[in-house]
Amino acid sequence: MEQGRPPTFGPVVRKLICRVAKTPPQQLDRPFTTWSLSKLLEYLTEVHQVTISTETVRSILRKAGIRDLRSVRGGT
């Protein structure tokens, strides 16, 4: 049995966040080669209208096994 507050964001949003985090930013027309949490949050808000905290995104990514956004790089 799990304890604590239930997730606020469902599986669709969680999958979206992970998919975007795994996509090199330049493939999404972003002018940089690596994601930071702040850039990822900005993109999610602007493009997908997902308003979410940094800590929640960090938790979602950690649970999905995504520990380092810098490992997702776009080509230059």
- 0.85 surpassed by pTM: no
Residues 61-72 as b/e (b if ≥16 CB within 10 A, e otherwise) read beeeebeebeeb
Which tokens hold the place of 11?
Answer: 């599986």
**What is the average per-residue pLDDT within 15-38?**
95
When pLDDT is cut at 50, 70 and 90, the band that residue 71 belongs to is low
When pLDDT is cut at 50, 70 and 90, the band that residue 76 belongs to is very low
Beta bridge partner(s), residue 73? 34
**What is the average per-residue pLDDT within 15-36?**
95
The CA distance from 32 to 51, in Å, is 21
Does residue 64 contact residue 15 with C-beta atoms inside 8 Å?
no
When pLDDT is cut at 50, 70 and 90, the band that residue 8 belongs to is confident
For residue 5, the tally of other CB atoms under 10 A from its CB is 6
Which carries the bigger pLDDT value, residue 51 or residue 3? Answer: 51
